[in-house]
Structure 1
Amino acid sequence: MSYLEMMNFKRIYHRFEIVQTPQNVKCFVCGMSCNGKNVLKCKDCNKYCHEFCQESVVSNCYSKNIRDDNKHSFEPSYSGGNCVVCGKSGGTIFRCIWCSLFVHNTCQPKLLNCCRQLMLKSDQRTHYFINEGKGICVVCKKEICQEDGNSFHCIYCKKSVHEKCCSDDLERKCDCGKLGRYLIHPCEVIFKNRYILKGPLEHPIFFIINELSGGKRSKEVISLLGSYFHPMQFIKIEELTIKGSTVSQNNDWYSKEKKPIIVICGGDGSVESCLDQFGPFVTYLLLPYGTGNDLSLSLGYNPSTTLAEFEASPISLLMKRVNDHRTQIDRWKVTKATYPGDSTFFDFRHFTNYLSIGIDAAVAQSFSEKREIGPCGRFINKCKYAMSVTALLDDSCKNIHNKIIVEVDGEEIDLPPMDCLIFQTTLTCYGGQTLWNNPVGFKEQRMDDGMLEIMYIRNIAELGSVSIGVSTPTPLAQGKEIIVTLKPNFVLPLQTDGEPFLLQNSVLHFYCESHNTFVSSH
């Protein structure tokens, strides 16, 4: 393997010819003035260099006819940067979200359209250099200036080097900086009908993206973090259950002794999809931007400020979160049988925050239907949620005490008049409201004790006051094994962690199935 291949450069060679030197032309390699006879010019990209600098040329030729399957993904840049084609700043400039390369809109047709490699045949991690180095050159230890000619920086370790210093003095192996243990390097990927990982990694991070949550906020996450991690580390939530996706059908990409970190980008509903896929063998970190974020609030993370903090310093905040405290949270399994007459229970669903029956679930059902018409931002989604209260005009979701039977740890409990019944395991609900408040006569609420707190809301007016924190539901019981029977001829709205559904003629049995590790600020 050649030196340049070891450095992870994809070579597209210049076609140089000796030319007469025009005035005020500088060598793009060393940055010095091009005077004299021994001057070369590329036929394709029109760049000049000294003949004695030709052996030091590392940068690719940007010609019109060169294309590659692994293409850039550009977005408008407001932070500035020098165009990789013409070397100038200013004007309308775009940045690739995967490799941080800058280019003018007018220069894009001349750009070598190959982004960083997804796979590399190498037995060690190497640098991936892109144009425009910053700071100190790691070889000559001098500050990099525009007058010095071309320079590069590695997108993994962030080290910079002059083009004229790209020699055997440059360390070939890349330590990948402070992200080293968390990222996937192209040398750790192979292709067998699809891109897969070679084997267990130390502590890989995967970002699970829910594009329906919070409108277009998912694009902000990729924009902020895409250039730091391998594209394989960003997975759409709908791909989790698709055979052939990055993680599906590929269980050897992590070691259970060294838990990988799953960053869940979305709301509470996104958490359940990830728990279904990965189970208790990973560590979960929440990057909340959905409408319902009670789990993140229970863990001490405010969704209103999280993305703003990430925009200011994405990697620093991510590393701080990664090193935060770990806490265990119960996950509850719900099985279902048909009532009456069938004693066979089948797996139905899970929940981590809460399960509720009645008027709040009816509102959630109406909102879910509105949201699927077109995803919007958190504020618009909250407005849609408020407008969904028209669902409460339907009496079928009221007086649920006459429509269900509840058994807690083997004993049937008396149900007072109510329009909503809540079974909760986490600390907050309804957008950060504390519902339980550790009432006298009950055990202290914990998220890892295998016990549910059971409470009820009497009517619509009380639901409104509970939702804004003016009042709290009435405590009813605590228990480790719950059976809820829906009496015949009633169709009732239910929800688990904000995901609503309708049910009738059923018996539900739920119990604590597992404990999952979450990152928490508490």
Structure 2
Amino acid sequence: MGGSSSKLTETELKQLQEFSRYSSRKLQQVWNEFNDFLLSENMSKTSARKHHELTEAEFARFIKTYFTWETDDAFVHRLFEMFDADKSGTVSFKELVVSASVLESGSTEEKLRFLFKVYDEDSNGVLEKEELDRILSQMCAVSQALGYDTTSIRPVLSEMLAKMDPSNVGFISLEKWIEAGTKFAPILVALGIDQTTYNQQRILEGSHQWYLRQSKKLRYCNVCTKTIGINKSSVVCQVCRLVAHDACSPNASETCRITYNKLNASTNDHHWVEGNFGHADCAVCHEGHCGSVRGLAGLRCAWCKLSVHNDCKEKQSPVCELGQYRQLMLPPTAFCLRELNHVVADAAGSIAGGAAAAAAGSVADGSPDYSTIESPLVIVPPPNTTPIVVFINPASGGNQGVKLLRTFKNLINPRQVFDLQQGGPMAGLKQYLHVPNLRIICCGGDGTVGWVLAVLDKLKLPSPPPPVGVIPLGTGNDLARTLGWGGGYGGEIKRVLQQIADAETVLMDRWSVAFDVADPNAESDKVPLDIVNNYFSIGVDAEIAHRFHTMREKFPEKFNSRARNKLWYLELGTKDALQHSCKNLHKHIQLEVDGQAIDLANGPALEGLAVVNIPSMYGGANLWGSDEKMGKQDMGDRKFEIVGLFSSMHMGRIRSGLAGSAHKIAQGSVIKLTTTKLLPMQIDGEPWMQSIVTITISHKNQVVMLKHRGSADLPAESSQPEMRSQKSNSSLAAQPAPAK
């Protein structure tokens, strides 16, 4: 967060949440960006805090920065009029978050209604030719920003807008606008409406989940059978891989994969999709290739990926054995609807029970006991399987998260895959809470893993809890490195799934952080986290991280690759080496470990201090080292390690491997740390500036994590008798096929 940003009060957060679609965390983020923008307009901090109104000129500059839109002045003017709800001639922060939250977090229909009003410049209730021309230009600009060829997509978008006016009356009504907007995938994308949001809201079993793609090789439309040229746009179903021209997608007659058991069936049938898979051996005749690059030929099952000639289909058993991922997959037969009267009773009971639980404060934060709320679907996995539920952060790793979301929806049952940008992990965890032998997979950075673990804390889990695995996206990924999953995802999903099936389990400590602030009114950032999974640090490394995060929020386009991010860290670290911003840190903190005072003032001069829970920090550096004279580091021994850093240069040498370890200070179970001035701090890579405070770190709980088998030694969790059932020695290939 920006260092200049002040925090919203609890009262302000609650009031804004009543009127907007944003969570408290998102509201604080928007407020920080709003506040930083005001400061960038050369206002003082005091003026920025009081100045909650934007003129039209200020609004135009803020919108283009916040949404990164390329828009003309007329569009921004209409947007300003829409945001200015009280017609005061300015837009307040409240008006800003109310309207912006609809554009970012509202339903598809709400977004379409809002944009209709923006484009309807004369407010006559219809979109006329001049207004439609402006929409087309805006959509082409968005498409170009997304990397699509506008010469090929402009005629398609133009044709789709024309189809909204089938009677050729010269205008489009709101009803036709909404109908077309929820039907044509390219229009949704070009309008800036997230197609993933639309697909998650549209719970129509058998509906395709389209996404827009520019073909890198020759493909064929599964609707009209005609070619889709190289570098031409098309839509692809992320679940079954059906391919269609943009304009043909509404006419796709074939349904998508059925993901739950509608008819109480005991077996799962193949779901055949024709063509567009290149050469593959036929599973029936084993002769020749059943795919082709010359047209739609051959059939491939969207479940098991089996390929057959069209003529051989009748000779292939209709029963699908789910292929090589069956150990991790929940077939449709595993999902059964509860009887309707049970659903009604459960829903009523859940609402009443949730209110009672919240009133009684059954969970520390007053939230209801979610473990008692049941899903309309009963999940009964096949025997001898270890099903996974996958949580993916599409924002992680550039475009990797989006691609991985689509890949998982195609490889396993899409009901097992959740987009964390669409409501977070709570819904998925509630649904899968009681599934036996469940494994939770987090695809994202360490922050994504921490998010899922924090929600698990609220869910009164059975004992033992499901183990959590990591597919690392983005940079850093210290927890993933510790567990043997590496520092980033290389795109080899088949290998990763095999490793998940073979993984063993280990225990990991988690730590609570309590803050006793000396002066609540002192200038200080909002503390981002109160639980430590990886590390807590104060001083030079937190200062560099804070500068990095501040710059990334202001200039996100400069931080779009791992290599570039590392260069930024190097530059910021070099600047700090010259400035020594945290010089003599040891004179401004008092440290107590397990009730015993640690004399830092008479020790070596420090510029940083870190409390580490795992043997990886800064993207792979082991600060404690392998020397066991002061005790061996173990992420599950209910102890943490405390180390000191002499300077940013010392930190750089540790990161590069030129220095063996940091300055070892102590091991312990409870730490008390008191500061005497404003200092930079960070928890698990989330930095902030903290006023004078006394911090207490103590053991919270232990969680079960999936460790890559064969990685560097960690104490195996299976030594705990009550956890042994979680361990699986079976590989994907070794699983017996389901009975036909």
Question: What TM-score comes out, normalization by structure 2 length?
Answer: 0.53
Give the corresponding residue for 1:438. Answer: 626
Which residue of structure 1 aligns with residue 657 of structure 2?
469
SS in structure 1 opposite 2:547?
helix
Matched, 1:364 2:545: yes
Is 1:302 the counterpart of 2:486? The answer is yes
Partner of 2:242: 101
Decide which of 264, 270, 281 is 1:127's aligned counterpart.
270
Match of 2:386 in 1: 203
Q: Is 1:492 aligned with 2:679? A: yes
CA distance in 1, matches of 2:398, 2:511: 29
1:237-267 per-residue CA deviation (whole Å, 9 max, x = no partner) reads 3446476x433x4354523xx1x22222222
Distance 1:242 1:223 in 2: 17
Displacement of 1:458 in angstroms is: 1.6
Which residue of 1 is the match for residue 510 of structure 2? 331
Output aligned runs, 1:442-521, within 5 Å: 442-471=630-659, 472-487=661-676, 490-512=677-699, 513-520=701-708, 521=710
- Residues 26-51 of structure 1: CA distance to partner in whole angstroms, max 9, x if unpaired? xxxxxxxxxxxxxxxxxxxxxxxxxx
Equivalent of 2:327, from 181, 193, 196? Answer: 181
Q: Percent identity?
A: 26
In structure 2, what is the Cα distance between the partners aligned to 1:399 and 1:200? 60
Give the distance between the partners of 1:447 and 1:434, measured in 2 at CA.
Answer: 13
Aligned mates of 2:548, 2:376 — CA distance in 1: 38
Q: Is the 8 A contact 1:199 1:252 kept in 2?
A: no
1:412 corresponds to which residue?
597
Aligned to 1:57: none
The structure-2 alpha-carbon separation of the partners of 1:115 and 1:213, relative to structure 1 and needing over 3 Å to count, comes to same
Q: Higher helix fraction: Structure 1 or Structure 2?
A: 2
Please identify which structure carries the higher strand content: 1
Contact 1:284 1:518 in 2 (8 A): yes
Look up the equivalent residue of 1:212 and give its one-letter code.
A
Summarize deviations over 1:46-97 as a string: whole Å, max 9, x none. xxxxxxxxxxxxxxxxxxx999854422423446555424546673365433
Structure 1 Cα separation of the partners of residues 622 and 673 of structure 2: 24
The answer to whether the 8 A contact 1:149-1:162 is kept is no
In the alignment, structure 2 segments of 5+ residues that lack a partner are 1-182, 186-203, 348-373, 458-463, 521-526, 712-740
Distance 2:504 2:432 in 1: 26
Matched, 1:246 2:428: yes
1:192-341 maps to which residues of 2 (within 5 A)? 197-201=377-381, 203-239=386-422, 241=424, 245-247=427-429, 249-250=430-431, 252=433, 254-255=435-436, 258=437, 260-278=438-456, 281-303=465-487, 306-308=489-491, 310=492, 314-339=493-518
Q: Classify 1:320/1:206 alpha carbon distance in 2 versus 1 (closer, same or farther; 3 Å).
A: same
- Asked if 1 retains the 8 angstrom alpha-carbon contact of 2:445 and 2:476, the reply is yes
What is the identity, as a one-letter code, of the residue corresponding to 1:456?
A: G
Task: Give the match for residue 46 of structure 2.
Answer: none
Q: CA deviation at 1:298?
A: 2.0
* Alignment equivalent of 1:403, drawn from 577, 584, 588: 588
Higher-RCO chain (CA-CA 8 Å, sequence separation at least 6): 1
Q: Deviations over 1:308-363 (max 9, x none)?
A: 4x1xxx2243213431333332222223334499xxxx996222221111110111
Secondary structure of the 2:452 match is helix
Query: How many pairs does the alignment contain?
Result: 440
Within the alignment, does 1:380 sit opposite 2:564 as a pair? yes
Structure 1 residue 424: deviation in Å? 1.3
**Per-residue CA distance 1:283-314 (angstroms, 9 max, x = gap):** 2222222221222222233335x314x1xxx2
Give the C-alpha shift of residue 218 in structure 1: 1.0
C-alpha contact 1:285 1:322 (8 A) present in aligned 2:
no
Contact 1:70 1:114 in 2 (8 A): yes
Contact conserved, 2:519 with 2:692, CA < 8 A, in 1? yes
Over 3 Å counting, the alpha-carbon distance change for 1:408 and 1:183 in structure 2 is: same
**Alignment partners' CA distance in 1, 2:217 and 2:375:** 33
> Does the 8 Å CA contact 2:642/2:664 hold for their aligned counterparts?
yes
Q: Secondary structure at the match of 1:246?
A: helix
Deviation readout 1:163-212 (Å, 9 max, x if unpaired): 55666x75444321232232244452759899864235453323322233
C-alpha distance in structure 1 between counterparts of 2:537 and 2:646, whole Å: 13
Query: 3-state SS of the aligned residue for 2:536?
Result: strand
Distance 1:137 1:475, change over 3 A: closer
1:151-162 paired onto structure 2 within 5 Å = 151-161=298-308
CA displacement at 1:456 relative to structure 2: 0.2
Give, as a single letter, the amino acid of the residue that structure 1 aligns with 2:303: Y
User: What's the CA shift string for 1:427-477, capped at 9, x where partnerless?
Assistant: 222121222223363112222222212110122332232232222311111
User: CA–CA distance in 2 between the matches of 1:162 and 1:464?
Assistant: 59
Post-superposition shift, 1:418? 1.1
C-alpha distance 182-456 of structure 1, shift in aligned 2 (>3 A): same
Equivalence for 1:9: none
Q: Structure 1: how far apart are the matches of 2:606 and 2:697?
A: 21
Distance in structure 1 (CA, Å) of the matches to 2:696 and 2:184: 61
Match of 2:213 in 1: 75
Query: SS at 2:625's partner residue?
Result: coil
The DSSP-based 3-state class of the residue aligned with 2:485 is: coil
- Cα distance in 2, alignment partners of residues 316 and 79 from structure 1: 25
Q: Does the CA-based 8 Å contact 1:72-1:115 persist in structure 2?
A: no
For residues 161 and 239 of structure 1, the distance between their equivalents in structure 2, rounded to whole angstroms, comes to: 37
Partners of 1:173 and 1:216 in 2: how far apart?
36
- The one-letter amino acid of 2:222's match is V
Instruction: Tell me if structure 2 keeps the 8 A contact 1:215–1:378.
Output: no
Q: State whether residues 393 and 419 of structure 2, in contact with CA within 8 Å, keep that contact through their aligned partners in structure 1.
A: yes
- Please list the CA deviations of residues 121-167 of structure 1 after superposition, one character each: whole Å capped at 9, or x if unmatched: 132333222113853355x7776647999642211122345555666
Instruction: Let me know the Cα RMSD of the aligned residues.
Output: 3.8
> Secondary structure of 1:357's partner?
strand
Q: 5+ residue gaps in structure 1?
A: 1-64
State how far apart, in whole Å, the 2-side matches of 1:289 and 1:338 are: 35
Contact 2:209 2:238 in 1 (8 A): no
Cα distance 1:372–1:118, how it changes in 2: closer, same or farther (>3 A)? farther
